[in-house]
């Protein structure tokens, strides 16, 4: 059974050129002075200030597909389903977004073409453009040989969130074309929640907590607005093992069941509950770095719906010269220990599920 990485990013050349031409977030710029000298990727407004000033270092592993293949070879990963990393195209002006999406998707498809049976991809959408342009790009992606769905953030169309009714034609086309939506965070939570000493703690609070909570909130908005009641065939792969969704599903359902406002609005009748959606519409990646978290994900959605991932090229080793990435080791070990007596299921989570769900090799 091949090992498949379903959570692995790239900033293709078309996209990095665009970021290098900018001086506002998001941008890539080379700084001369220590300790942040060299090319830096700045993707959030808060990263222009404080301890996360100048974002993160960006090397060729972020945009050179040969580095992706070298990383896969070094970690015995047979297939990667690559996706554009955050912040995707959400920030582009309306009149440029559709054309840039086409160029980025063509760039990614070309990379996959170069490495047959090793690379597939999730495409990217021009979510600042009009609904018909987004739908047209989804239709186009569905005809491309290596595309297996799309990666989206939580902002929806022009920042209106994923419970925006204007997204319905988009959800409908995902459902009709059978494409998987890979839901990934970017914005985290508002900076104030991290407190006055946040600048002492690097990226830890926004990445460890802001990312998973952002995703959890987005999925709850979809649930409460009835997206999965209207689109029962909509499949969403949720990053980072569902944020905190598997752990909080019971509390979420209890809050719904006790909510008088929902009851009086008739919203409790015939609704699908989160447990049902977790088992029929949601897939989870295995990017959670621990046995406890992974067991919860497996309990919530089923071992047949969880798929291995790495989040490469993010979280590189801090010490130069280290070839084995800690993130890969932790995620691989979590799969093995969570399923310790069951080699067949380990192989499913490491790759078999992805081959079946994403129809790889077809």
Q: Which residues bind ligand 5CU (CB under 6 A)?
A: 9, 43, 56, 85-86, 203, 207, 311, 314
Answer yes or no: are the C-beta atoms of 222 and 215 closer than 8 Å. no
Judged by CB, which is closer to ligand 5CU: 64, or 311?
A: 311
Judged by CB, which is closer to ligand 5CU: 77, or 256?
A: 77
Judged by CB, which is closer to ligand 5CU: 40, or 148?
A: 40
Min dist. Cβ of residue 37 to ligand 5CU (A): 19
Min dist. Cβ of residue 196 to ligand 5CU (A): 22
Torsion of CA 103, 109, 110, 113, to 10 degrees: -170
Min dist. Cβ of residue 287 to ligand 5CU (A): 9
Min dist. Cβ of residue 211 to ligand 5CU (A): 7
The rounded distance, in Å, linking the Cα atoms of 168 and 227 is 8
Helices (H) and strands (E) in the chain, counts: 16, 11
Min dist. Cβ of residue 61 to ligand 5CU (A): 13
Which tokens belong to 161?
């969130």
Judged by CB, which is closer to ligand 5CU: 16, or 345?
A: 16
Answer yes or no: are the C-beta atoms of 186 and 153 closer than 8 Å. yes
Which residue's Cβ has the minimum distance to ligand 5CU?
A: 314
Place of tokens 């992706």: 68
Judged by CB, which is closer to ligand 5CU: 87, or 226?
A: 87
CA distances from 234 to 48, 170, 222 (A): 37, 10, 11
Judged by CB, which is closer to ligand 5CU: 143, or 320?
A: 320
Which tokens belong to 229?
């009641």
Query: What residues are paired with 40 via a beta bridge?
Result: 29, 57
Which residues touch 324 (CB under 8 Å, ≥6 apart)? 74, 75, 317
Min dist. Cβ of residue 42 to ligand 5CU (A): 10
Count of C-beta atoms within a 10 Å radius of residue 20? 12
């Amino acid at each position: 059974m091949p090992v498949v990485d379903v959570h692995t990013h790239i900033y293709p050349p078309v996209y990095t050129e665009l970021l290098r031409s900018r001086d506002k977030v998001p941008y890539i710029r080379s700084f001369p002075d220590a300790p942040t000298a060299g090319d830096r990727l700045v993707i959030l407004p808060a990263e222009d200030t404080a301890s996360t000033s100048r974002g993160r270092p960006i090397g060729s592993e972020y945009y050179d597909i040969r580095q992706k293949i070298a990383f896969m070879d070094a970690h015995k990963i047979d297939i990667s389903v690559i996706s554009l990393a955050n912040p995707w195209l959400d920030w582009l002006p309306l009149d440029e977004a559709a054309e840039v999406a086409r160029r980025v998707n063509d760039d990614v498809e070309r990379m996959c073409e170069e490495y047959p049976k090793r690379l597939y991809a999730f495409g990217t959408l021009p979510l600042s453009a009009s609904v018909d342009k987004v739908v047209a790009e989804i239709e186009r992606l569905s005809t491309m040989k290596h595309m297996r769905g799309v990666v989206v953030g939580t902002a929806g169309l022009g920042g209106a969130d994923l419970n925006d009714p204007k997204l319905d034609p988009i959800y409908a086309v995902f459902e009709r074309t059978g494409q998987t939506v890979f839901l990934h965070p970017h914005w985290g939570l508002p900076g104030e929640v991290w407190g006055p000493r946040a600048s002492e703690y690097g990226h830890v609070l926004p990445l460890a907590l802001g990312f998973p909570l952002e995703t959890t909130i987005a999925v709850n908005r979809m649930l409460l607005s009835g997206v999965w009641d209207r689109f029962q065939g909509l499949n969403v792969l949720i990053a980072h093992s569902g944020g905190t969704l598997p752990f909080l599903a019971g509390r979420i359902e209890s809050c719904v069941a006790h909510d008088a406002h929902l009851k009086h609005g008739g919203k409790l009748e015939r609704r699908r509950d989160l447990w049902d959606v977790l088992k029929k519409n949601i897939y989870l990646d295995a990017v959670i770095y621990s046995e406890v978290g992974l067991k919860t994900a497996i309990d919530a959605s089923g071992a047949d719906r969880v798929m291995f991932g790495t989040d490469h090229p993010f979280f590189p080793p801090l010490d130069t010269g280290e070839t084995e990435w800690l993130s890969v080791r932790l995620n691989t070990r979590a799969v093995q220990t969570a399923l310790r007596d069951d080699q067949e299921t380990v192989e499913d989570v490491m790759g078999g599920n992805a081959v079946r769900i994403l129809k790889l090799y077809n």
